[in-house]
Amino acid sequence: MALLRNLCTSLITHERVITTLPKAKELRPFAEHAITLGKRALVAEAPEKALHNRRLAAAYFFSGNNNRVPDGGYKRPHAPRTAGVAALDKLFDELASRFATRPGGYTRILKLGARRGDGAEMALIELLGSEAKEAHAEEKKEEKSKARRFFGRRKKAELKAGVPQEQPIRKKGPSAKSSKEKEGAPQEQPVKKKSASTKASKRKETSE
């Protein structure tokens, strides 16, 4: 029972678990009965009946270690056990409404082949509808990876939204200063160097 509770807690929390095929076959009716209790609480007329179904469903989960840090010493406080509480809340808040119109068959088992080492037959058990969430998460990851840019560039999402971009500041170099001087102040004419032929002709004129 402890094994089934632990697997059911992981299945409801993460919506998919990879385990051996016999364990997956035993877990399937165990987890589906817990989901049925959540559906009964959703359509219960009196709040007492909904609370009763919630307490019955709590027996299907293991109050284990979700993000639990080991104490690691003497007389140190233990972290709160929240795995079963989180799974129970997710069952009654999200999964019960997802499977409200479905009469049964909330899980799916996919065979993965033999495990390397001991040759045990592995399987993936998942809740129906989890593949859509997985595809949506992969799309978000792809968008984030595409939107990443180096050297302070804007993201593609901001470009699509029409966010105005700041123009890069250009450093003022010697070329910019020379262009301003050409526009405003008068410029000095460049001194032309006298060639050897002009110097010789001038010497002849002075000698004559």
Which tens digit of pLDDT belongs to each residue from 113-163?
999 989 999 999 999 987 766 555 566 666 666 555 444 454 555 555 554
What's CA 55's distance to the chain center, in Å? 34
Mean pLDDT, range 98-127, rounded to an integer: 92
Residue 115 has, within 13 A of its CA and on its CB side, a CA count of: 11
In this prediction, residue 69 carries a pLDDT of: 56
Write out the DSSP string of 147-183: H--STTPPPHHHHHHT---PPPPPP--HHHHHHHHHH
Is-above-0.75 flag for pTM?
Answer: no
pLDDT tens by residue, 58-70: 999 987 655 555 5
The CA distance from 90 to 125, in Å, is 18
pLDDT tens by residue, 179-193: 555 555 556 666 665
The CA distance from 44 to 177, in Å, is 82
Cβ atoms of residues 121 and 36 within 8 Å: no
Question: What domains, with CATH codes, occur in the chain?
Answer: 2-67+80-136 (3.90.1030.10)
Q: Mention every residue, 6+ apart, whose C-beta is less than 8 A from residue 64.
A: 6, 9, 81, 83, 84
In this prediction, residue 83 carries a pLDDT of: 83
Question: Counting every residue, how long is the chain?
Answer: 208
